[in-house]
Every structure is written in C-alpha cells, then in structure tokens.
Structure 1
Amino acid sequence: MTDENTLVRFGVLGCAEIARKVCRAIDLSPNSILHAISSRSIDKAKQFVIKNSLSESVEVYGSYEDLLDDPLVDAVYVPLPTSLHLKWAVLAAQRKKHVLLEKPTALNVGELDRILEVCKSKFVQFMDGSMWYHHPRTARMKEFLSDPKLFGQVKTIYSTSSFLPPPEFFNNNIRTKADLDSYGALGDAGWYCIGAILWSMNYKLPTTVTALPSTILNSNGVVMSTTVAFHWEQEETTATFYCSFLSHETMDVSVLGSKGSFHVEDLIIPYEESSATFNFTSGAAFANLHIGWNMKEQEVLVQNELPQEALMVKEFSRLVKGIKDKEIRPDRRWGDISRASQVVLDAVKSSVDSGFNTLYI
C-alpha cells in the first residue's frame, strides 16, 4: 500500500471543466494525491467535490488564497482564465508551490517570463497542461522524425485544431471574452497547433509569422477562426495551421520530410485512452505508369499504461518529488517549451492585430 506521505499533494485553483479531467488524472497517477479544491465560493467547491465523487478527505476552500496558505499543498494546478494566470501562478510560486498551469500560459510572453522568473527564484517546477507531450506515441513519432535515413529533413508541416460548440458557448464561455481569454480559438485550439509545429522543428522559432485575412473575429475582437503561415528561412521549411471554433472536430498533424512523412489524426486527445496510432511512409513513390504507389502508409500502434493526462501528472509529480528530496533541480526545459509557444502565439496575435502583416521573430 502506498504511503500517502510519499505522494505529491495537489491543490486545484478553480472548478473549471478541465479541472474534472485533471483531478481524475491526479487520482490515477501513482505518485500524486488530490489534497484540496478551491473556488471563489466554498459552496461551488463543495459541489465540485460531490459532482465528481471526490474523496471526503479532500480539503475544500472558499478562496484561492486559503488553498495557497495550506502548508500541506506541494503543487497547484491552475485552470483559471488566462487573464488570471500571472497573479495566481506567481503567488503560488512565491509560496513555493510547484505550478502546473493551463494553456495558453499567459496574456503575453512578458507575463510568462515573470512567472518563470519567480518559479526559478523559488526553486519550483513549472509545466503547462499540454497533455499530448506525455503520451508515449509522441516519443515514437519523434524517433521517426529524427531518423535522417527514414525521414530526412522537415520540409513542411500542417496542423489543425477545431471544434464547433453549441450556440450558448459564443455568449457565455470565457474563451469568447476579451477581458478573460483574449486569444480565443488561437489560444485554446491554436496553442496545440503551434506546439506541434515547434515540436517538429525542435523548438526553433520560425523566421516569419503571417495570419491570413480569412481570420474571423467576434464582436469582442476575439479570434474565432484563423489560418496562419510560418517560414524558416535557413531551413527553407514552411508550416501552416488552422484553428477554429467554427468547424468540425479536428486534431491533425502532418509532417512531410525529404525522405518520409507521417500523419496523426487525434494528436490532442487520442481516440482511445489505452493506445494510439500514427501513420508513416518512407521512400514512397509512384508505381510504373503512375497507376498506383509502391507502398501504403504503415500504421504504428503505441500502447500506454495510463491516460496521457495521468502520465503528465506522473512526470510532473516525479520532478516535484525529486526536488523536494533534493535529488534533482527543476527541469527548466518545460518552461522553455511553453515560452517558445507563447512567443509564436504573441506573434500570430500581433499579425492579426496589425491587419495580417508578416512579422519577423
């Protein structure tokens, strides 16, 4: 039986819908435990515990400050609106709580730099909530992508992330409000596309970023749909992505290299929790007389021991425990990954705001 004193104890700031999924992940992860839930209303926090059948031992707080003052909380998960990330991530880090922060991480890279600065000064771990990085499929895709004989050099990347919510979403959801989550579809869905593209390029920033005039804004000036183009001058590589609240559910990434290519349809949330696939080809060519191909795409099946969100929590908790035990230092790579995505996100937003000009990073 696991000694609870060895587990990383999580507190959750807020009762957003995504918090339900992460609370489940904390429970499934073998090295963490949900210790506390907080909301601006203690009644709301209590209802969250009841609705999600959480343990009666979970502490319930009617303010975020009270949770941060709990000395038993090792780490916090922050699913608050983006406009609140700077305040609460900084306060958490100042109290030496490790920070798992929902994406997009901040309203701009300056805010994120402040969060990362405090995390560094207080010797706490930072990570954003992009769960797909932690799926073993992602590591397998990177193996193929990094093989010069099978894949060659990345030439172009295409990614989409979109969904069509019900009508009430556009009137009530925080992702449509400029004062709460001003990036809209760009920050919510586009963050994944940007992350997948940068991951494919080993996090090298593009030379230029251009949002296309087909971008659709709501009455609050928040992006509901956009298409964006990137260019890496030195590598002569391009990428495009489409993110939207106005079209059918998609989570695609295609990466084309000089010798091979791969495609995944369900990057952000796999079709199934226990396994995931991707398709690849290497050395494909047309058959004689161009009446077919010399091969079909190969499907790679990757099994996973836990759902990807639980694997994220497990890795985060491993780092937190190692830091607590003074065995390791905080892994700053996760902050670097988030910062690269934030820099590009800011550039896309600036391109939109400037009338779709091409911006150099």
Structure 2
Amino acid sequence: MAAETQTPPIRFGIIGCARVARTVSRAITLAPNAVISAVASRSIEKASLFAKANNFPPEAKIYGSYEALLDDPDIDAVYLPLPTSLHVKWAVVVAQKKKHLLMEKPVALNVAEFDVIAKACEDNGVQFMDGTMWVHNLRTAKMREFLSDSERFGQLKAIHSCFSFTGHPDFLKNDIRVKPDLDGLGALGDTGWYCVRSILWANDYELPKTVVALHGPVLNEAGVILSCGASLHWDDGRIATFFCSFLSNLTMDITAIGTKGTLNLHDFVIPFQNKEASFIVNSKCVFNETVTSWVPIPSAHTVTTDIPQEVCMVREFSRLVGDVKMVQSLS
C-alpha cells in the first residue's frame, strides 16, 4: 500500500519585528502544518537579532527589506504585524505577490481601506485572516454551544464586553498605539477591536442598526483615543455595550445575557492559563425561598487543550491556505 501523501507545511515569511511577532513566530514554530522560512525588517541587523532571539530555524532567510521577502518564491504566506497605517499599502503588495495574508488587527483604519485589502486578496486568489487569537480557542467553540442552546440560554438579549489595561508612562508617550500617524485608532483599534469582535461573535456577526458613542472619551494631546465606550442596538431590542481603555486595570470581561441563561468570563482575550480556559454559565436561575441564595448555583466549565490559542489560529490559517493551494493546483 502506498504511503499517505503528506501536505507540505505552509512556509511563512514575517514582515516586521513587532512585539506581537514574537508570539506569532512561536505559534508558527509549534503549529504542525507551518514553518518559519524568512523574516524581513528595514534593518537586516534587526531582522537577524529577531530571528536569533526567537529561535528561528537555521535555514530561515534574513532579509533587509520587505520587498526582498515578498519576491522569495519559497514563501507561501506572510504574517504582517506592521502599524495599521501601513496595512493597506503592504497588504495589497502581499496579495499581488500571491502570498496568503495573516495580518494583525486592527486590519485597517477604516472600512474603505479594508475593502481595498479584501479586493486585492480576492482578485489574487489568496487567503486572508486577521490575527484575533481568542476566536480560535477551543473554549470559544464550547461557549458558542451554550449560546446556541435554546433550552439553556434562550435568545440573546444583551452582551457587555470590556478590555482594558493600564499603560505605563513610556507606553502612553511612545507606543505606536498612541501615535496618530501609526495606529491612529488608539485604544478603540487595539482593545476595542476585541470588544467589538466579541459582541459581533455573540450576535452571529449580525451588524447592529445603530451605534452610539458613550460620553466622555479620553484622548491624548495628539487626539488619539486612550479610553472610550459605546452602545450598540439591534431592531429586535438586543443591546450591547463595550468599554476599552489604556488607562484602567487589566480586565477582559464578557457577559452575555439570554432569556434563559447567562454566560460570564473574565479572560476572554488571553486566558489566565496557556492551555486551560474556563467560563461560567447559569441557566434558569432563581432565588431560594428566603431570597438568600441562587438556585441552581452557576457552574464553571473548563476547557483544556494541548496547544494554546495562537497556535490554533496559525494551524487553522495554514489549513485554509493548504486547501486554497490544492484547489488552485487542480484548476
């Protein structure tokens, strides 16, 4: 019997040496269907140091320009962690070079820019994925099962999401996320991205009818958002709120409320533990006869996994890329 044909791993090139690229490069190394083939920076010395610090394989290529990496025929996919202001330019070039694209969020500064990116990927037949890791966690699938259970959860009525952390003085002065020419969306584009994603996820990605900014956003001297919130409203009465901030204690909460049940978790963006994640549900809870306790008591559910959520993301992206490559090879 002939041996089963193994699909070659997807060969990644990394453009830029941002801090988050350390996490994703490790995830590429751990994913069973991916491999790091190259890294590029505008400084070849910086690229070389990044590769060494993150234990890149010795055969990984080091480039001193983004263009050189994109011209490499041995690269299947590109991970792009550049500042948001550079996304539309380089994402289009990546697509035109027929490289599949895994891109950091926020994916663009506005809808018009994202439409350009999406069209470039579609026109060139390449896979696109944003780098939102938590949606690939096995816990997320289990939470979806609860939200979809008409007997335990019922119909979604409201969801509230919060992601904040306290930026230290150097962060608030020098980080790209507070610079209008680099990541001009500030906290809304960074932590707010996750809040909005969680709200849309809970609503099966149905867009709201209206969105209202909450009073009192905090801006820095350059006009970049450091803290803000909003409410979202659907025609059938569903509502959502979110709060995102660089000025408040580390918080990553979701509360989804249905007609029969409630879902709570406090670490939705990054789990408290790398390979274990929990959430709390209550269903059809009432007060006891003396109104001194709940019946039944809400229950905690723990989901374990052999690989962390960022590796799940890379694995899924690589699977999709492999499928695209196979279809293209048959056409």
Q: TM-score range by the shorter chain?
A: over 0.9
Could you tell me whether the CA contact under 8 Å between 1:41 and 1:63 is conserved in 2?
A: yes
Paired residue secondary structure (1:196): helix
1:259 matches 2:260: yes
Partners of 1:81 and 1:239 in 2: how far apart?
Answer: 29
Identity %: 50
TM-score by length of 2: 0.96
State the 1:305 CA deviation.
2.2
Could you tell me whether the CA contact under 8 Å between 1:319 and 1:328 is conserved in 2?
A: no
The one-letter amino acid paired with 1:252 is: D
Match of 2:61 among 52, 59, 62: 59
State the 1:215 CA deviation.
0.7
Match of 1:189 among 176, 191, 194: 191
Partners of 1:292 and 1:300 in 2: how far apart?
Answer: 21
State the 1:4 CA deviation.
9.8
State the 1:119 CA deviation.
0.7
Aligned to 1:137: 139
How is 1:129-278 mapped onto 2 (pairs within 5 angstroms)? 129-233=131-235, 235-278=236-279
Aligned to 2:41: 39
Aligned to 2:129: 127
The structure with the greater share of residues assigned to strand is 2
Partners of 1:214 and 1:118 in 2: how far apart?
Answer: 38
Aligned to 1:305: 306
1:294 matches 2:292: no
Q: With a CA cutoff of 8 Å and minimum separation of 6, indicate the structure with the bigger relative contact order.
A: 1
State the 1:275 CA deviation.
1.2
Could you tell me whether the CA contact under 8 Å between 1:322 and 1:328 is conserved in 2?
A: no
Could you tell me whether the CA contact under 8 Å between 1:36 and 1:58 is conserved in 2?
A: yes
Cα 1:317/1:208, change in 2 over 3 Å? same
Paired residue secondary structure (2:244): strand
Partners of 2:19 and 2:195 in 1: how far apart?
Answer: 22
State the 1:5 CA deviation.
7.7
State the 1:127 CA deviation.
0.3
Partners of 1:56 and 1:320 in 2: how far apart?
Answer: 24
Partners of 2:275 and 2:154 in 1: how far apart?
Answer: 31
State the 1:289 CA deviation.
2.8
State the 1:10 CA deviation.
0.2
Partners of 1:295 and 1:5 in 2: how far apart?
Answer: 49
Partners of 2:216 and 2:262 in 1: how far apart?
Answer: 28
State the 1:236 CA deviation.
0.4
Partners of 2:6 and 2:75 in 1: how far apart?
Answer: 13
State the 1:264 CA deviation.
0.9
Cα 1:258/1:68, change in 2 over 3 Å? same
Paired residue secondary structure (2:251): coil
Q: Summarize deviations over 1:211-260 as a string: whole Å, max 9, x none.
A: 11221000111100012111112x20111111000011111101000000
Runs of 4+ more than 3 Å apart: none
Partners of 1:328 and 1:63 in 2: how far apart?
Answer: 30
May I ask how many residue pairs the two structures share in their alignment?
A: 327
TM-score by length of 1: 0.88
Partners of 1:291 and 1:282 in 2: how far apart?
Answer: 18
Deviates more, 1:51-60 or 1:194-203: 51-60
Cα 1:164/1:26, change in 2 over 3 Å? same
Cα 1:154/1:61, change in 2 over 3 Å? same
Paired residue secondary structure (1:9): strand
State the 1:34 CA deviation.
0.3
What residue ranges of structure 1 are gaps of 5+ in the alignment?
Answer: 330-361
C-alpha RMSD over aligned residues: 1.6
Could you tell me whether the CA contact under 8 Å between 1:89 and 1:99 is conserved in 2?
A: yes
Q: Summarize deviations over 1:145-183 as a string: whole Å, max 9, x none.
A: 011111111111111001112111111111001111110
Aligned to 1:320: 321
Deviates more, 1:185-194 or 1:213-222: 213-222
Cα 1:255/1:328, change in 2 over 3 Å? farther
Could you tell me whether the CA contact under 8 Å between 1:98 and 1:126 is conserved in 2?
A: yes
Partners of 1:258 and 1:117 in 2: how far apart?
Answer: 40
